Amino acid sequence: MYGTIARMRLKSGMESQMQALMEEYKKLNIRGYVRSTVYRMDEDLGEYYLAVVFENRDAYQANAQSPEQDARYQRMAELLDGDPEWHDGEIVSIG
């Protein structure tokens, strides 16, 4: 499996919009998509981490390079205070 982890900061008051956007994403049929999880940090309620899992690297990259994903990202970016910090990699263990 393969995926990404993003560290991001939401603009003030955007949490419900982010939750709604994540709910929309659950309904999409993206080839190779497995799941995503969003975390809000205890020590800084404006800091979030997004972890996304795909079946393999090829499916992840195909999605990342698609115009549809770019449009989805642009909608999410409107809710953020700055650019996310992305970390892509192979998933070696899932509990």
Q: What is the pLDDT of residues 24-53, one digit of tens each?
A: 888 999 999 999 999 999 999 999 999 999
Is the Cα dihedral 59, 60, 61, 62 positive or negative?
A: positive
Helix (H) or strand (E) segment spanning residue 51: strand 47-54
What does CATH list as the number for 2-90? 3.30.70.100
The model's pTM is 0.90
pLDDT at 89: 98
CA 48 distance to own-chain centroid: 10
Q: What is the mean pLDDT of the chain?
A: 95
* Percent of all residues in the chain with a pLDDT value above 90, rounded to a whole number: 92
Task: Give domain limits for the chain.
Answer: 2-90
pLDDT at 95: 82
pLDDT at 26: 86
pLDDT at 42: 97
